[in-house]
Structure 1
Amino acid sequence: MPDEARQEQENLPASPELVPNRHPKAEYPDTEWSNAEAFVQPPEPSLVGMSSYLHAFRRRWVSALSLGVTCAALAGAAVWFGLRPTYTATALLRVAAHQEKLVFPTVDHAAQSSFDVYKNTQQQLLRSRFTLTAALRDPAVARLPLVQNELDPVGWLMRELEINFPGEAEIMQVSLTLSDPAQAATLVNAVVQAFMREVVNVERDRRVERLNELDQLCAEKETEVRSKRAASDSWPSSWGPATPRRYP
């Protein structure tokens, strides 16, 4: 019986699980194994064909379609808000390098010897919070959606407003770039009108007032001269010329 069992066991086919994985170098230790590593073959990479992707898509087509629609919507929104067209409203103001003298050079005229300083002064006056607040007090400007959506409209307008002198000329350019051309034009016109009203016209009225004072002073002096001339003309001719008197 033991011989028959041993014979049946020897006739059984070898199972891969029962055969240990031996390295050829361990099987034949007396052999030269300079290239023993050549017997170890690397595993072949698994090739994934187009059919695998199609099979996966058939199983998950609902999820893939939902993800594609979501990504397309996000990309469209990003393009719409990121590449929205903008419009620039521009106004031009002439800033004279030298103001016309009233009668003779005054302190104000002498202070304008540096035109760069004068241009920077006008630029800061136009961008000042005082001028922009006056512009935003306009009811037409206060109703604009862009103004109502800002927590600090004056600070926002101060940052967005562009003021420069192209070509270093006597032309001051006031620009505002927005997505709505009508609102941009309304804001630029309001700022320019506020600057003219609060700064330019005030300076003009002050100069006109000084000119009126000079005209009044000139008229008073002319009246005084006429009265003295009339008094000298009424001097009696019979009295003869006046003779000097000597006092002890």
Structure 2
Amino acid sequence: MASPATSGFSGEPLGSQGGKVARSRLACGPWLGLAATVFGGALAWLVLEWVHPVFTPPEKYAFLPTPVPPELSEELEELSWRLHLGNAVVVLAILGAFLGGFLGLGEGVAQRSPRSAVLGLGGGAAITAMFGASAGVVGHFIFQWEYYTGKETLLAWTIAMQAAVLATLGLGAGLAVGVLLGRRRLLVASCSIAGILAGVLAGLLFPYLASRYLPVAASEIVVPEAGPARLLWIGLTAGLLGLIVPGMTFSRSAAKG
């Protein structure tokens, strides 16, 4: 006769499916989460310093007549927006892949499960990359609207744009670790909310800190320019994700289990 702690058919603990335990809390604490995402963020920064911008204007636009004819001016504007969109999508997909992948890896390591570590790294990278690409689209259209309405240099609108962008990316990272390694609906929801919160906080802090301490950096665009501004942007996002997602959903008993 099956005990109350097991199912009557399989003898497996209640809440497990094929050996996959549905956890109600994350095993990864905030310090391990911080270490994982900061390491992932550092790798992302190095990659982006190397590959960005991914898309650049064709060589035929290198030497333009002066003044630029109106029809060519319109063509250049359309091209610049296409390049802006493409670069924003690729950069945020890369950033999402590294942050989501290493956050998932940290949770897998905390669960002491090689399978969970591989699943967290690969699945977390894939899911968060998709959300990162979506964040790039969101940021592009918000910035385009700000540009045509003359609000792109206003701090409040830069904060709104970055909060929307990084909240979308944070949602992906939180959702990925919750779905792949937690599986309980409440934990998935908690991780998702924590990811959104981390992204919003990063979006609030980055424009303010950049405007105060890096006033000459072009921090009002979706992807900050290379150098200290981009490092600050990635560092804040990585640090807050690593602290808040595990911090809001961590349990010492889950780490021991």
Larger radius of gyration, structure 1 or 2?
1
TM superposition score normalised by structure 2? 0.27
Bigger RCO (CA 8 Å, 6+ sep) = 2
Judging by fraction of residues, say which structure has more strand: 1
